[in-house]
Amino acid sequence: MAEPLPPTRRNRASLTYKVRYAAQNPDRIKSYLARVARDLRFRLSSRDHVAYYRAVMKSDTAKNPEAAVGSRSHGRWLALGQMQFDYLRKHGLKPDDRMLEIGCGNLRAGWRFIDYLDPGNYYGIDISPDILLAAQNTLVRQELREKLPHLTLVNDLKLRFLPSGHFSVVHAHSVFSHSPLDVIDECLAHVGRVLAPDGFFDFTFDRTEGTEHHVLREDFYYRTETLISLAERHGFAARFMDDWEELPHGQSKIRVTHPA
Ligand SMILES: C[S@@+](CC[C@H](N)C(=O)[O-])C[C@H]1O[C@@H](n2cnc3c(N)ncnc32)[C@H](O)[C@@H]1O
C-alpha cells in the first residue's frame, strides 16, 4: 500500500485526494456537497474575491462566529488566540507597540492584544461587517471598552486611510490561507508604507511542498518560496519562522521587515 503523503505534500484539490477522503469520511460527504453548492452560488453572485469571501463569512458567522474564524469549540477559540498571543509576546510584542491586525475576525487573539497593549494602540481591520459586529461582542464580554481599540471595515488591502510609518507590529493570522495571490500581492504592495521603519509584519499561510492549489475559493495553499519572493519583490526582507512549526497549528508563518 502507498505511504500516506505528509500534509505539506497533499493536494486537497486533486481527485485522488477527494475520493480517498470521501471513502474515509463518508459522514462528511453531505456537508462537502453543500459547500460546493454554496461556492458556486457565491462565485456567480460576487464580483471579486473580497465579495465572495465576505459572503462566506456572512453565512458562517450567522451560524457561529467562533466557528466562522475556524474554531470548532470555545475551548479551541481560546487556545488558538492564546497561541498567537504567546508567540508574538515571545517574538517582540511590547505594550507600547502600535498594532495593525489584518483580518481581525471576532478578536480570537485580538482581545488578548487589546488587553495587553496601551489604550488606543490596537487597530483591527476586516472585510466582513458580520464578524466585526461579533468582534464588538467580544470586546464587551472581555470588558475592554476602556482600551479604545479601532475596528474598521475594509474593501481592499490598500490601507490608504492609515498613517505612514505608524505600526510597529502588523499581524495577519489565517488570512492569506483564504486569499488568492493577487490579494496577498496587494497587501504586500501597501503594507510597507504603514509599517514603522523597525516594525515587522507576521502572517500565516497554508503551506504546500507540492503543487500550489486551492479548495473551492476558500482555502489556498502556497509554497514558502512563492511568498518569500513576493515579499522580496515588494522590497522586504522575509524569513520563515521555524519555531512556529513546533506549535500545534496546521499553518506556517513568515515575518517580513524593511531591509536593514
Ligand atoms: C480564519 S479568520 C481569522 C481571524 C483572526 N485573524 C483569528 O485568528 O481569529 C479570517 C479572517 O480574515 C478576514 N479576511 C479574509 N480576507 C480578508 C482580506 N482580504 N482583508 C481583510 N480581512 C480578510 C475574514 O473576514 C476573517 O475574519
90: confidence class by pLDDT, cuts 50, 70, 90: very high
The predicted pLDDT at position 151 comes to 98
- Print the domain residue range for 187: 47-257
Overall domain count for the chain: 2
Looking at 15-19, 123-127, 220-224, 231-235, which range is the least confident one? 15-19
Tell me what the mean pLDDT of segment 167-190 comes to: 98
Cell digits for 214?
486551492
The answer to the question of residue 6 being in a domain is no
* 212 and 161 fall within a common domain: yes
Q: Check pocket membership of 134 for ligand 1, CB cut-off 6 A.
A: no
The predicted pLDDT at position 120 comes to 98
Residue 201 has pLDDT above 70, yes or no: yes
The predicted pLDDT at position 25 comes to 82
The answer to the question of residue 139 being in a domain is yes
Q: Check pocket membership of 102 for ligand 1, CB cut-off 6 A.
A: yes
* 143 and 53 fall within a common domain: yes
* 21 and 69 fall within a common domain: no
Residue bearing cell 519572493:
229
The answer to the question of residue 4 being in a domain is no
The predicted pLDDT at position 6 comes to 64
Check which CATH number belongs to the domain holding 76 and give it. 3.40.50.150
The predicted pLDDT at position 1 comes to 42
The answer to the question of residue 7 being in a domain is no
Q: Check pocket membership of 159 for ligand 1, CB cut-off 6 A.
A: no
* 30 and 145 fall within a common domain: no
The answer to the question of residue 3 being in a domain is no
The better pLDDT of the pair 18, 219 is held by: 219
CA distance 84 to 88: 6
The closest-lying atom of ligand 1 relative to the alpha carbon of residue 49 is: 19
Question: Beta-strand (E) ranges in the chain?
Answer: 99-102, 122-126, 150-153, 167-172, 195-207, 213-215, 219-222, 237-240, 252-257
Residue with CA nearest ligand 1 atom 23: 103
CA distance 170 to 101: 6
